[in-house]
Chain A
């Protein structure tokens, strides 16, 4: 362990901790950092997928033909893990229908389509001068209503992560450290870098809001890789300006994937999030810088999340740069503004080259999680050669930041040994792709893990359903048995009653000497009475239970 010596107070650098694994792919960030953030133009049509965040899809609250204003809420969160969606510009809702969405499956999903009117009219906004007057729960609610999701790429609804400190305390998970993730370790992507350079004040203001909500008891740290000196300088200047000396910028030597939530937490605090646990379990809340800036916009300006910074880069773009893009803008529209050459583009990727996925259709929209559009040429991202057999070199295990055994996972994924995979903590894999990156046999390891995770989840859901079905089946069996028994009891009761009547009649007959005619009449009478009694019980029975068959066979 080459743990760094604790820094002395003189150089005042906060301590950082080593983490396992990691790789150093070529950065390729300089291409898109030379130009400032540019406002992307207003497209003629905006397409807003109802499911662009982690969790349940939102529920549309507008109808086709409705006029909407910029910033107006058009879809509501459905369930606790979901997010609100707002109109990114003014115009008319022209359709609510399945459209191609940016998703690894390449499938279609329900989207709200807005034809923009070019006016870009805002709906009335209600900002807040002094957020410190508001209780934490109200701020969290406003963040929820603003539809903010993690802008680092995960797309997890932010409000869900920000349960206020009181709730945290009652859950016995007091938060002592707030970590702001400005690492951006994936090659090509510079959206957070430019945001920190140009909008550091916003970020610091957003951090102060989060501090007010979470009340971290010891520290607030912004983690930035040391390959972003301009961003670090801008953040420090903004901290000095806002006199927010309880916020510390921590820079550290970059490697991929130091920006993973668990990895960054370990680098900055040395704490390890337990397997299957959450950062809150070790007293930490972690948010991305972009998310924090969106929180500032939502609380101070009252603006919902309707745009984001997206890096448009790759050799197939003549002017690679960062754009502030309205959510819902078709990707083709955004690419065009960066001088996109479709003929040179061999692969179009949403996200970075390590964790992104290939897009097949440029009509799909930019969504809240779109941090980068990478239009790569063949020379830049050559198609992977066919996978070879694993040579058991162990390089993947060395590269894995989660200290897993990718090679073992690969074998067990192939043989579908789910218990073994879970024993080896497959679910701790962050799908960073470091193992596939180093694999000399170019095995698409991550795809094996993704497929296996999905299979395991499905298997579990099936087991759960089987249990449920079994319970229902058994309940039904019991019901049938009970009904059968009840029927039998009634039948027995009826027979007993009939017998008793007959006996009584016979006795009466016995007393008045034996007259065969009279005896026959008495028998007939008794029978009639028994029948009437049976019909009565039957009537009672059938009104009580309409679905059971009339018990004819009882007679």
Chain B
């Protein structure tokens, strides 16, 4: 036996490793099944961070498809409704650098909600078919209206309306929804007030 080992050291090593790998592999395989984590697959996690406006501005037909695309390596900065906050969250989740919003897909806009000018509505039901979240209430030849609380502001109902009676109205700030803004940082303030003498713009000499 010992003779054999000393004669074929390489072969012995290979045999020993193979012998070891079988039980360990079995153990790992068992652990993988036994301790399977019930964690969200990455697509679900990405989708949870997207704003679910379903507007298609990212050039995918909805948030889920974009989530799938991100999981396959698409850039994370193509969702204007989510804006910076979503990019930040996605960057955190995927552990990549946050990118500025891709201007090609539109800028982050103020929040809007659709409003149907009800006396002009002809009851064609076209907007209902366009609305991704069923936020429009109405029936054929009846006046339609938007459930403002459910409207995601995706804009998709505006285009199909044959009489152009849908407006996207910005959501106004009220006393109830008003909030404090972050103050300018000291660094910004310093820049503005030119406290440091050498920072000052040189005076134009006469």
Q: Does B18 reach chain A (CB closer than 8 Å)?
A: no
Name the prevailing secondary structure of the B interface residues: loop
Q: Is the CB of A389 within 8 A of B51?
A: no
Name the segment of A2-10, A226-234, A313-321, A442-450 touching the other chain. Answer: A442-450
Residues of A within 8 A of B185 (CB): 387, 414
A109-B174, A454-B180 given; A547·B150 CB < 8 A: no
Residues of A within 8 A of B182 (CB): 413-414, 447-448, 451-452
Residues of B within 8 A of A389 (CB): 186-187, 190
Residues of B within 8 A of A444 (CB): 183
Distance, CA A469 to CA B147, complexed state (A): 12
Distance, CA A470 to CA B154, complexed state (A): 13
Name the segment of A114-122, A250-258, A458-466, A491-499 touching the other chain. Answer: A458-466
Distance, CA A388 to CA B189, complexed state (A): 8
Tally the A-B contacts, defined by beta carbons under 8 Å: 100
A408-459 contacts to B, CB under 8 A, are 413-414, 416, 441, 443-444, 447-448, 450-452, 454-455, 457-459
Q: Is the CB of B128 within 8 A of A547?
A: yes
Name the prevailing secondary structure of the A interface residues: helix
Q: Of A390, A467, A473, A546, which one neighbours B139 at CB under 8 angstroms?
A: A546
Q: Does B4 reach chain A (CB closer than 8 Å)?
A: no
Q: Is the CB of A386 within 8 A of B133?
A: no
Chain A residue, CB-CB nearest to B134? A476
Q: Does B160 reach chain A (CB closer than 8 Å)?
A: no
Q: Is the CB of A51 within 8 A of B175?
A: yes
Among B50, B62, B178, B190, find the residue whose CB has the most chain A CB atoms closer than 10 A: B178
Task: Identify 21 residue pairs between A and B in the complex whose beta-carbon atoms are under 8 Å apart, listed by A's number.
Answer: A51-B175, A107-B173, A386-B190, A386-B193, A388-B190, A390-B186, A443-B186, A450-B180, A451-B179, A454-B179, A455-B179, A458-B179, A466-B52, A467-B52, A468-B150, A469-B152, A472-B133, A473-B133, A475-B134, A479-B134, A547-B128
Given contacts A447-B182, A469-B51, A469-B53, 19 further A-B contacts (CB under 8 A): A105-B175, A105-B178, A388-B186, A389-B187, A448-B182, A450-B179, A451-B183, A452-B182, A454-B180, A457-B179, A458-B179, A465-B152, A466-B48, A466-B52, A469-B133, A469-B152, A473-B63, A546-B139, A546-B140
Seen from chain A, the residues whose Cβ lies within 8 Å of a Cβ on chain B are 51, 57, 101, 103-105, 107-109, 386-390, 413-414, 416, 441, 443-444, 447-448, 450-452, 454-455, 457-459, 462, 465-470, 472-473, 475-476, 479, 546-547
